[in-house]
Amino acid sequence: MFGKDKFTYLSLSRLEISPRAIDRLFQEAGFSLIRLTRFDPVLPRALLRIVRPSLLVVEVRKLDRF
């Protein structure tokens, strides 16, 4: 039920980037990181700090530049 074949896009849609690198990239583009939420439909929430989740939801705010 939860095998690789069930979600075939997972083998193609893969971007491995650290939360620190995400923050840096957004800062360089003029955004401020508000919240980064880790999500995985299978792994318990407690493991998501150790194991990379299947999805990262990033909330940012555009910085005002005058």
* pLDDT, position 44: 86
d(C-alpha 14, C-alpha 9), whole Å: 9
Q: pLDDT per residue over 4-56, tens digit each?
A: 566 666 666 566 788 889 999 999 999 999 999 988 888 888 887 788 787 88
**CA torsion through residues 20, 26, 57, 3, sign:** negative
pTM, two decimals, is: 0.63
